[in-house]
């Protein structure tokens, strides 16, 4: 088998080669097979750092390395893989994304939930092909707060359960394709006025923050496509008038809900981390798999 012998001779090469789902040992030279791979899937792996052979792969399109002790990616991770489009590193112990993420121009989907990520290179927030980002349940703060967003193809952005105190004031107009924004479980006091430029936004999750009426500017009435708003467990004594035009609003856990005439909006949900709306849609969400 081309490439197998060379790959297994490397440190941890057997482990990597056996989890290479789409092997691609012949790229440029038929007579010089190499340890290369297009798709890697390693679940419940033993690595705190990845075997160096992964950094040398040029054919990578999809990398899934989940449920393990991975703490650090090398500075060269993905730098040889110009077509790398999908990365899933959920449930590891990563503390940072290396600068190489700024140069992954083909990157489309990034899942990094349940890590310990604090640092993200600024160039990551300007990748032209990014479509789906999930950085939920990490330790992100300034790496997002100071970001200059320019993500023209981004549709889904999940940053819930971090320690973010404010959202970037600018750059939202450079990310007009956003459909779902989920930032529940942070420390937000306000939403930026430029949010009003998100003409395709349909679902906005900002529960479990510190939002008040003054932190939800009137300009957000321009979000004409918004059909679901989750503002539970904030500091709202009233709702902004623009909320009246939204099809579904969840507001339990606010002082506003002390009044009997708002029973429908204030109906408790199955969990602080899930809504009835979420349960109506297929798929598996970490927040809905909860007894809370």
User: Residue 188's closest CA among 169, 209, 172?
Assistant: 209
SS3 state at 43: strand
Q: What is the token pair recorded at 148?
A: 């200059």
Residue 218: other Cβ atoms inside 10 A = 11
Answer for the pair 121, 99: CB distance below 8 angstroms, yes or no: yes
Which residues are CB-neighbours of 25 under 8 A, at least 6 positions away?
2, 3, 4, 6, 7, 33, 34, 35, 36
Which residues are CB-neighbours of 182 under 8 A, at least 6 positions away?
136, 157, 158, 159, 160, 203, 205
Rounded to 5 degrees, φ, ψ at 49 are -130, 150
- Predicted confidence at residue 14, as pLDDT, reads 77
Question: Dihedral of the CA atoms 142, 145, 149, 151 (nearest 10)?
Answer: 80
The string of DSSP letters for 58-99 reads S--SEEEEESS---B--TTTTTT-TT--EEE--SS---B--G
Strand segments (E) across the chain = 20-23, 37-43, 62-66, 86-88, 109-111, 132-134, 156-158, 180-182, 203-205, 228-230, 248-250
pLDDT in tens, the chain (292 residues): 444 555 665 666 678 888 999 987 555 544 455 678 999 999 999 999 999 889 989 999 999 999 999 999 999 999 999 999 999 999 999 999 999 999 999 999 999 999 999 999 999 999 999 999 999 999 999 999 999 999 999 999 999 999 999 999 999 999 999 999 999 999 999 999 999 999 999 999 999 999 999 999 999 999 999 999 999 999 999 999 999 899 999 999 999 998 766 678 999 888 898 888 888 766 656 667 655 4
Global pTM value: 0.91
């Amino acid at each position: 088998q081309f490439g197998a012998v060379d790959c297994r001779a490397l440190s941890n090469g057997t482990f990597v080669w056996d989890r290479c789902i789409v092997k691609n040992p012949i790229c440029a030279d038929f007579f010089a097979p190499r340890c290369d791979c297009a798709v890697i899937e390693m679940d419940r792996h033993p690595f705190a750092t990845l075997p160096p052979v992964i950094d040398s792969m040029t054919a990578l399109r999809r990398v899934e390395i989940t449920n393990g002790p991975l703490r650090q990616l090398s500075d060269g991770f993905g730098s040889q893989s110009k077509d790398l489009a999908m990365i899933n590193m959920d449930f590891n112990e990563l503390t940072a994304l290396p600068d190489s993420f700024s140069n992954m121009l083909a990157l489309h989907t990034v899942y990094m939930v349940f890590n310990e990520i604090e640092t993200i290179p600024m160039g990551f927030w300007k990748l032209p092909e990014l479509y789906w980002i999930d950085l939920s349940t990490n330790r992100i703060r300034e790496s997002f707060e100071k970001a200059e967003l320019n993500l023209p193809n981004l549709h889904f952005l999940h940053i819930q359960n971090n320690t973010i105190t404010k959202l970037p004031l600018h750059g939202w107009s450079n990310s007009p394709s956003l459909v779902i924004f989920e930032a529940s479980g942070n420390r937000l006091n306000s939403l930026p006025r430029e949010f009003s430029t998100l003409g395709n936004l349909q679902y906005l999750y900002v529960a479990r923050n510190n939002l008040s009426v003054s932190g939800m500017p009137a300009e957000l009435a321009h979000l004409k496509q918004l059909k679901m708003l989750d503002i539970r467990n904030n500091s709202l004594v009233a709702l902004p008038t623009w909320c009246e035009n939204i099809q579904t609003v969840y507001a339990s856990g606010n002082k506003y809900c002390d009044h009997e005439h708002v029973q429908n909006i204030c109906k408790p949900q199955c969990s602080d981390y899930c809504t009835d709306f979420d349960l109506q849609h297929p798929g598996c969400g970490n927040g809905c798999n909860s007894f809370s």
